[in-house]
């Protein structure tokens, strides 16, 4: 079982790196810019599996909130407003 946990941790690290790299390449995500909402970031990074019963695209993006909070805790990104877009710090 430990191998699965380690592999899951590796996936999370890679997902965070992918999102951060995407944000570095997006003009809207630059420091001081208006930022991007979570859904477009989620989809641009290829995390959307499409719409399924009880697993719509909108529902699938919730795990990325935790990813963004991790990047925020690392001082790499910030949320422009309480329910607003995200950008690089």
The residue ranges of the chain whose pLDDT is under 50 are: none
- Report pLDDT for 83: 87
- Report pLDDT for 26: 98
- Report pLDDT for 2: 85
**Burial class of 51 by CB neighbour count within 10 A (0 to 12, 13 to 18, 19+):** exposed
- Report pLDDT for 18: 98
Q: Which structure tokens are listed for 68? A: 């963004």
The beta strands (E) that lie in the chain are given as: 77-79, 86-88
* Record: fold of 2-88: Arc Repressor Mutant, subunit A (1.10.10)
- Measured from the Cβ of residue 77, the count of other Cβ atoms closer than 10 Å reads 23
Domains of the chain, residue spans:
2-88
> What's the whole-model pTM score?
0.92
């Amino acid at each position: 079982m430990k191998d699965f946990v380690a592999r899951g941790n590796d996936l999370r690290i890679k997902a965070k790196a992918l999102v951060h790299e995407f944000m570095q390449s997006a003009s809207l995500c630059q420091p001081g810019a208006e930022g991007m909402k979570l859904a477009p970031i989620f989809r641009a990074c290829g995390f959307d599996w499409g719409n399924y019963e009880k697993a719509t695209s909108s529902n699938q993006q919730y795990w990325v909130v935790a990813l963004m909070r991790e990047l925020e805790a690392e001082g790499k990104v910030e949320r422009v407003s309480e329910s607003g877009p995200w950008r690089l710090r």
